[in-house]
Structure 1
Amino acid sequence: MGALDDVRVLELGTLIAGPYAGRLLADNGADVIKVEAPDRPDPLREWGQASGGHQFFWTVHARNKRCVTLDLRTDRGRDLLLRLVEQSDVVLESFRPGTLERWGLGYDVLAAVNPRIVLARVSGYGQTGPLADRAGYASVAEAVSGLRHLNGYPGQLPPRIALSLGDSLAGMFAYQGILAALHARHRTGRGQVVDTALTEACLAILESTVPDYDQTGHVRQPGGTRLDRVSPSNLYRAKDGLPVLIAANQDTVFARLAELMGRPELAVDPRFVNHTSRGEHQDELDDLIAEWAGTITAQELIDRCNAAGVVAGGVNTVAEVVVEPQFVERGLFVDHVDQQTGHAVKGVGVVPHLSDTAGEVRWAGPSEPGVHNDDVYRELLGLDRAELDDLVAAGVV
């Protein structure tokens, strides 16, 4: 049994952040019912690299969900959704603020039919504030929040990480908020609104940048391959030209690195004796480590460092990640059988691992919109065949 086997979620909206929160819930056992408009399926169905004209983002991202179609812009669609809300715990939406209200499905309406409902809302800027009405994507959220500014090298335009990082962060924070709201409901008996903004999810991970600026006026700049004043923690090129990440910024770990380099005196050198002094002489220290690392092959460097208790690792591409013994041994990769092609598609498994109520991948993302219409509408709402056929003919489902 999963940890959330008794939770039912209605997932509205499209693209990454909200549906990613839905995937995390589904991975841990929740019955997540993905609602798509009959005429506008989730664009994620066509995202990712193609093979034979078919993309596989959806295969992994929509796993463990039941997919139904429903036009929320119609009165009949609205009424059907409210009947589903009566039997659900969470409504998860990722529309621009005000969209549900325009459809007559605001929190006041949802709570009127089910006071225990949790409404989780994911948007670019949040439900309130002067920018709430703006559309928001992860790329802009990363820029506006200050996260993008910290990426790359000083004096250059900050590059983007080759992922929609802001969406994933928002999805994880929405998931966290949903769990907190469900826990609070055990005490209060009432649901509430979980308001997650892409911009705020990015801002929330910026560590000490805000208090540092507030108290000292320091504006942290991009550090390239290292963190400013955290030393040593950098990429160093080995003898065979491959980069190795060595992180030895803790005093005890740096002493081990100095010993390994054959330079134990560096650990008591006033320039490098503690975290602060190493940060002040970061360039000098990086040069010393780079000179040493350049005499050893990458794998030997990694092996020597880890044997000595110095944190180090290679910079893996996905081709190396999928055969990394640590990930393979811990079952981090799971095959999803794509319904449309019949192929097994490898994807990342459930994180984190729970010892008693572990999550699992039960099925891949359903290949077509509405494949669970019969299951959901007839099982949960008791519609008969004629009623469902009429709704299909009317374009409601």
Structure 2
Amino acid sequence: MEVQAVANGPLEGLIVVEAGQLIAGPFCGQLLGDMGATVIKIEPPGKGDPMRAWGRGAPVWWEVIARNKRSVSIDLRKPEGQDLARRLIDGADILIENFRPGTLEGWGLAPGRLHETNPGLIVVRMSGYGQTGPYADRAGFGGIGEAMGGWRNIVGEPDRPPARMGVSIGDTLAATYGCIGALAALRHRDATGQGQVVDSALYEAVLQAMESLVPEYVATGQSRERSGAILPGIAPSNVYPCTDGEFLIGANGEGVFRRLCQAMGQPDLADHPRYCDHASRGRNQTELDELIAGWTRTLSVDALEALMLEHGVPAGRIYKPGDMLADPHFAAREAIVELPDHPRWPGLKMQGVFPKLSLTPGGVRSIAPQSVGEDNQDILGERLGLDEATLSRLAAAGII
């Protein structure tokens, strides 16, 4: 179903076969599809990707992660299904998969074999621990990668067990790095004609986002620990209470802190020996936060926001979905887009396509496939040349 007239995007003409399920593989496919690639998603016949049923209260996550895709139903566990997949992949630029290492090989779809008939193919492989190493064969989900990559240990309050972020950050990081790898591999293929394998491990994707965690430990012997809502030594930068809610202020820079003190009506505070420079504010972080909180408790969120804007202090509200939908900045930049004619969820809204390109922007060109294998006729019939009798036979045998 067409959604809106949008530019086709910088990846128009690129053919992607997505054979993964759940989050990491499909999110990589979403990113490529958002930028204009034709994404052909292989789903198991019957129930399809489990993501079709995921969501809190309503199964609408699928509508985001499967937008701009076409669905074919193929049983990859059956030889005839594997042959269909090979024929599809032979005409593709990129294959995405996030099965346990060795699964593709067991289905006769090893990258080396695929490269025999499609030497320019780029195979993006996402897994918990990567395709090599002593842990490669282990099953791995995003949360496990977050723990191994160092994320979980530093999230939460210091007197409580490790917490988790409220989204599947490990999976989406691995998918994003998989997408980056695919684009880099495309650049190499443009120059040489050679395809290659992109190996994106969940734990390594998380590790990449851990800033200086490891070198700090090597240099000082100190390991970052959970610190709640703050970064130790970075002050003031915290969420502060108001009369009607909470508000985030980040004023740890020298000039910014001085402007905050002016907004507070305490300009001399910026020269106080306990707060006069970055190191001093870090050493006295707790008492400084308590001092600022004592002031913010007397103000409403609206009043505090106005003061921060007036004095040029980086600050902001803690947004929930309703706040995003009501905010004029989100609307002006089309950060959230609407699918007005959606057959199941009329008026459904979701995040738009990022980043924004000035000449060849991506966009939501079509909604997620509403039924498993709804594009079998177009993809298997027209692209692979299967006639009606063959399609009917394959469907009756449970292969599609």
Q: Shorter-chain-normalised TM-score: which range?
A: over 0.9
Report if aligned partners of 1:338, 1:367 keep a CA contact under 8 Å in 2: no
Aligned-partner Cα distance in 2 for 1:59–1:44: 9
- CA displacement, residues 52-76 of structure 1 (integer Å, 9 cap, x when unaligned): xxx2111222111000011222222
Aligned-partner Cα distance in 1 for 2:273–2:133: 50
1:354 equivalenced with 2:327 (yes/no)? no
- The match for 2:297 is 294
Aligned-partner Cα distance in 1 for 2:263–2:230: 21
1:102 to 73, 97, 106: 106
1:345 equivalenced with 2:351 (yes/no)? no
1:251 to 230, 250, 254: 254
Secondary structure of residue in 1 paired with 2:338: strand
- The match for 1:195 is 199
Aligned-partner Cα distance in 1 for 2:341–2:198: 33
Shift of 1:12: 0.4
Aligned-partner Cα distance in 1 for 2:342–2:309: 43
Report if aligned partners of 1:60, 1:336 keep a CA contact under 8 Å in 2: no
Aligned-partner Cα distance in 2 for 1:49–1:258: 43
Aligned-partner Cα distance in 2 for 1:388–1:300: 65
Aligned-partner Cα distance in 2 for 1:275–1:94: 45
Report if aligned partners of 2:235, 2:252 keep a CA contact under 8 Å in 1: yes
The aligned runs of 1:185-264 (5 Å cut-off) are: 185-238=189-242, 240-264=243-267
Aligned-partner Cα distance in 1 for 2:68–2:244: 43
Shift of 1:158: 1.9
Report if aligned partners of 2:67, 2:369 keep a CA contact under 8 Å in 1: yes
Report if aligned partners of 1:67, 1:372 keep a CA contact under 8 Å in 2: yes
- The match for 1:311 is 314
Give the direction of change, closer, same or farther, for the CA distance of 1:155–1:49 in structure 2 (3 Å limit).
Answer: closer
Aligned-partner Cα distance in 1 for 2:368–2:299: 46
Q: TM-score, normalised by structure 1?
A: 0.95
- The match for 1:149 is 153
Report if aligned partners of 2:30, 2:66 keep a CA contact under 8 Å in 1: yes
What runs of 5+ residues in structure 1 fail to find an aligned partner? Answer: none
Aligned-partner Cα distance in 1 for 2:69–2:341: 14
1:73 equivalenced with 2:80 (yes/no)? no
Give the direction of change, closer, same or farther, for the CA distance of 1:270–1:63 in structure 2 (3 Å limit).
Answer: same
Give the partner amino acid of 1:330. R
Shift of 1:275: 2.0
1:15 equivalenced with 2:22 (yes/no)? yes
Report if aligned partners of 1:170, 1:201 keep a CA contact under 8 Å in 2: yes
Counting matched residue pairs gives 393
Report if aligned partners of 2:47, 2:372 keep a CA contact under 8 Å in 1: no
Shift of 1:6: 2.0
Report if aligned partners of 2:68, 2:368 keep a CA contact under 8 Å in 1: yes
- The match for 1:365 is 368
Aligned-partner Cα distance in 2 for 1:325–1:337: 19
1:280 to 276, 280, 283: 283
- CA displacement, residues 147-172 of structure 1 (integer Å, 9 cap, x when unaligned): 01111111201222222121111121
What runs of 5+ residues in structure 2 fail to find an aligned partner? Answer: 1-7
- Identify which range, 106-115 or 294-303, moves more after superposition: 294-303
Shift of 1:340: 5.2
Shift of 1:248: 0.7
What's the C-alpha RMSD, in Å, of the aligned pairs?
A: 1.5
- The match for 2:387 is 384
- The match for 1:265 is 268
Report if aligned partners of 1:339, 1:367 keep a CA contact under 8 Å in 2: no
Aligned-partner Cα distance in 1 for 2:45–2:341: 22
Give the partner amino acid of 1:100. L
Give the partner amino acid of 1:371. E
Give the partner amino acid of 1:222. R
- The match for 2:178 is 174
1:25 equivalenced with 2:32 (yes/no)? yes
Give the partner amino acid of 1:204. Q
1:374 equivalenced with 2:377 (yes/no)? yes
| Identity value in percent | 46
Give the partner amino acid of 1:376. I
Report if aligned partners of 1:59, 1:345 keep a CA contact under 8 Å in 2: no
- The match for 1:163 is 167
Shift of 1:125: 1.2
Q: TM-score, normalised by structure 2?
A: 0.94
Give the partner amino acid of 1:245. L
- Identify which range, 358-367 or 157-166, moves more after superposition: 157-166
Give the direction of change, closer, same or farther, for the CA distance of 1:338–1:36 in structure 2 (3 Å limit).
Answer: farther
Report if aligned partners of 1:337, 1:364 keep a CA contact under 8 Å in 2: no
- CA displacement, residues 157-199 of structure 1 (integer Å, 9 cap, x when unaligned): 1222222121111121111111111112112211111111111
2:129 to 125, 130, 134: 125
- Identify which range, 346-355 or 327-336, moves more after superposition: 327-336
Aligned-partner Cα distance in 2 for 1:339–1:267: 55
Report if aligned partners of 2:22, 2:51 keep a CA contact under 8 Å in 1: yes
- The match for 2:48 is 41
Aligned-partner Cα distance in 2 for 1:382–1:361: 28
- Identify which range, 30-39 or 92-101, moves more after superposition: 30-39
Report if aligned partners of 1:338, 1:365 keep a CA contact under 8 Å in 2: no
- CA displacement, residues 210-229 of structure 1 (integer Å, 9 cap, x when unaligned): 11111001111111111111
Aligned-partner Cα distance in 2 for 1:358–1:206: 30
1:135 equivalenced with 2:139 (yes/no)? yes
Aligned-partner Cα distance in 2 for 1:344–1:106: 42
- The match for 2:331 is 328
Secondary structure of residue in 1 paired with 2:198: strand
Aligned-partner Cα distance in 2 for 1:322–1:201: 31
Secondary structure of residue in 2 paired with 1:322: helix
Shift of 1:322: 1.8
